[in-house]
Amino acid sequence: MKKLKKFFSLALTITLIFGTTSSTVANEPGLPSGQIPLGQTTQTTGEIIVNGMEITAPRPSVTDGVIMLPLRSIAEQLGLELSWDETEKRVNIGPNYALWIGQAKLSLDGGLTTREFGPPPKIIDGRTFVPISIFNHGFARFSATIEGGKIIIDTVADVILPIAHSATIQYGHAGIIKNNNGPLLTYIRFPITHCFADGYTSAWAHELHQHAENEIDTLRESHDSAAGELNINFNSYLVYDRFVGIVQQGFFNSTALAHPMDIIQTFNLDLDQEIFLGNSDILDLSKAEDILLLLRHNILKIWSGTGELVDTNLLDNMDESWLEHIAIGPYGIYIILERGVHLPSYLGSLNIMLPYDELDFALLLGKEVEILPESTGEQAIGQTINPASDVVLESLPTLIMPPMSASRGDVDPSKPMIALTFDDGPSKYTPYILDLLERYGGRATFFVVGNLVEAKRDTVQRTVDLGNEVLGHSWDHRDLTKLSGSEIKTQLLNTNRVIEDITGTPTRFFRPPYGAVNDTLKNVSRELGFGIINWSIDTLDWKNRNADVVYNAVMDNAANRAIVLTHDLHGTTADAMERVIPGLISRGYQLVTVSELLYYSGIAFEAGTVYHSGN
């Protein structure tokens, strides 16, 4: 009888705890109830200071020597919204984080993926308690320390600015690309913001998906069991009712990779001007040194909070490459450091916020930007180029001939020539194709996708150093015939900018994605001074994915002054080039760039014209 009573009492307690939990987490009960005695192992007085304010909260508890903190009281002070998922016994914290009562796991992406984190959160007196370390190792934007017995929790930025109340977290709603079947498990969330940027952000997501699928397809050509996973989430923020920062972050993994590859992409929008902002539109990069000092300070704070060895040597030679991924955030500018690129990979990818007030000295956001007179032509040089749409080359000078770089001494106009072209790169296969061209003494033209260029600057640089031509293939591979005139301009000029930033030479030609051309595209091209390059020989290499078929398609159709279409996106195309390049040369063809082909064919340059060959 005594035992039975104890059982009932226990059952009742359990029911009570969970019963209370669901309502408690969903509905804050308010002030602390009973005192929870601190364990012997702690040296804290139990006072909790959040962003400089002592909060009224239940006292910390101790589990296995680890200080457990009352989540809701702290989250409220940090401005994090909590919600409770009864079915999963899951606490959602802000738009990103989630943890599970009684389970040692934490999710950084809204529950999509989890990682181990202990000790598990637990319910005490109807309140959720989490380990103190979660503020250092779990939530990227906060730090927890114990000073003078007090528990100090800080937003890494230190300061919550007045801008906070005008900021919207998670601007827009989520578009989702999902595939639970097949060799590539896919879950991509991207923002739909109902503004000019939607096409780009959605195209980015779809293109990323396509690239991952291509990668897996290629792998499966040699390994039937090859598989992969693509998992991307986003955060989006509206500040000043005008600027939107978007951070796309996640990973791609495949059976061929040693570990998942981090994927980071930021978009910064100016809704008033309907343009993308580049890094140099947001920050005055002439003050990079001081920005980097501020960044260093914040990195050290996070790093020392992790309990890992801090190697300050790694912070001695910071340069602008640390500022590559930046995004407009609600309280400051996020600087996102990719895992393992600048700092040890055990730190993971770091999202570091530099608060607006501390960054004021270098902040251009919302301030009037002085535009240099067009004639100086200096704006584009030496700047970090991103998808900004302020128009550097409002109009290219009209040319009557292709650029001078075309007149190379080693082309004999009386002999046959052919222009190999490669679309959709730069990719991991591009360097091999460059090797082949270098080895056999040929040149080719690479039509690059603008938003892929920055990450492969070295490849693009080497492409031109070897005498090849780099031209644009749009910013993000959208069908240009579906865009407005101003959208087309943005596509063409931004792509030109990233190329010119590396090559030092403005591009005069481009190839539209799919080769699709309409009158609007021709008119805009004419206005901006671009010629349009299509092709006369299509290898369909993207479809057949077979080196023999590609080789035969070129060799069977090769003709003097032809332009050959291929894609340096596929390993099979690179393989085909092992035989195509020496094969054409041994047949007496000179392998020339598109500009050279047109120049030596005596074709006058005319902006807005579509060229298919030198004939």
Toward Zn ion, which CB reaches closer, 346 or 514? Answer: 514
Active site residue 423: yes
Quote the least distance from Cβ 501 to Zn ion, whole Å.
21
Residue 481 phi, psi (nearest 5): -75, -10
> What is the CB-side half-sphere exposure of residue 385 using CA atoms within 13 A?
26
Report the distance separating Cα 273 and Cα 244, nearest Å. 12
Quote the least distance from Cβ 452 to Zn ion, whole Å.
11
- Give the Cα-Cα-Cα angle 533, 535, 537 (nearest 5 degrees): 165
Report the distance separating Cα 17 and Cα 433, nearest Å. 65
Report the distance separating Cα 560 and Cα 566, nearest Å. 17
Toward Zn ion, which CB reaches closer, 353 or 594? Answer: 594
Quote the least distance from Cβ 80 to Zn ion, whole Å.
43
Quote the least distance from Cβ 380 to Zn ion, whole Å.
25
Q: Which stretch binds Zn ion (CB under 5 A): 192-200, 259-267, 391-399, 506-514?
A: 506-514
Residue 376 phi, psi (nearest 5): -70, -30
Report the distance separating Cα 46 and Cα 59, nearest Å. 6
Toward Zn ion, which CB reaches closer, 59 or 478? Answer: 478
Q: Spot the catalytic one: 137, 325, 477, 567.
A: 567
Work out which of 215, 424, 469, 487 binds Zn ion, going by CB under 5 A: 424
SS3 421: strand
Lay out the site mask for Zn ion across 511-540 (x = CB under 5 A, - = otherwise).
Answer: --x---------------------------
DSSP letter (8 states) at residue 240 = T
Toward Zn ion, which CB reaches closer, 332 or 571? Answer: 571
Work out which of 229, 423, 476, 487 binds Zn ion, going by CB under 5 A: 423
Quote the least distance from Cβ 17 to Zn ion, whole Å.
59
Cβ atoms < 10 Å from Cβ of 555 = 14
Q: Which stretch binds Zn ion (CB under 5 A): 230-238, 245-253, 408-416, 417-425?
A: 417-425
Residue 23 phi, psi (nearest 5): -75, -35
Lay out the site mask for Zn ion across 377-416 (x = CB under 5 A, - = otherwise).
Answer: ----------------------------------------
Sheet holding 142-147, edge to edge: 53-54, 48-50, 150-155, 142-147
Report the distance separating Cα 421 and Cα 563, nearest Å. 7
Q: Which stretch binds Zn ion (CB under 5 A): 75-83, 106-114, 421-429, 430-438?
A: 421-429
SS3 51: coil
Quote the least distance from Cβ 197 to Zn ion, whole Å.
21
Q: Which stretch binds Zn ion (CB under 5 A): 160-168, 186-194, 412-420, 509-517?
A: 509-517
Identify the H or E element spanning 326.
strand 325-328
Count the residues of the shown chain that bind Zn ion, applying the rule CB under 5 A.
3
Quote the least distance from Cβ 594 to Zn ion, whole Å.
15
Toward Zn ion, which CB reaches closer, 73 or 430? Answer: 430
Toward Zn ion, which CB reaches closer, 131 or 513? Answer: 513
Toward Zn ion, which CB reaches closer, 513 or 571? Answer: 513
Quote the least distance from Cβ 498 to Zn ion, whole Å.
16
Question: Are the C-beta atoms of 425 and 568 separated by less than 8 Å?
Answer: yes
User: Judged by CB under 5 A, does residue 229 bind Zn ion?
Assistant: no
Quote the least distance from Cβ 471 to Zn ion, whole Å.
12
Q: Spot the catalytic one: 423, 424, 501, 541.
A: 423
Three-state helix/strand/coil letters over 496-537: HHHHHHHHCCCCCEECCHHHCCCHHHHHHHHHHCCEEECCCE
Chain position whose Cβ is nearest to Zn ion: 423
Three-state helix/strand/coil letters over 107-145: ECCCCCCCEECCCCCEEECCEEEEECCHHHHHCCCEEEE
Toward Zn ion, which CB reaches closer, 158 or 424? Answer: 424
Using alpha carbons, select from 246, 202, 254, 251 the residue that is nearest to residue 223.
254
Quote the least distance from Cβ 427 to Zn ion, whole Å.
12
Toward Zn ion, which CB reaches closer, 294 or 452? Answer: 452
- Give the Cα-Cα-Cα angle 58, 61, 64 (nearest 5 degrees): 170
DSSP letters of 138-207?
ISTTEEEEEETTEEEEEETTS---GGGGG-EES-SEEEEEEE-SSSEEEEEEEEE-SSTTHHHHHHHHHH
Toward Zn ion, which CB reaches closer, 120 or 513? Answer: 513
DSSP letters of 343-389?
S-GGG-SEEEEEEHHHHGGGB-TTSPPPPPPGGG--TTTTSPP-S--
Active site residue 424: no
Active site residues: 423, 567
User: Which residues in this chain contact Zn ion in the complex, by CB under 5 A?
Assistant: 423-424, 513
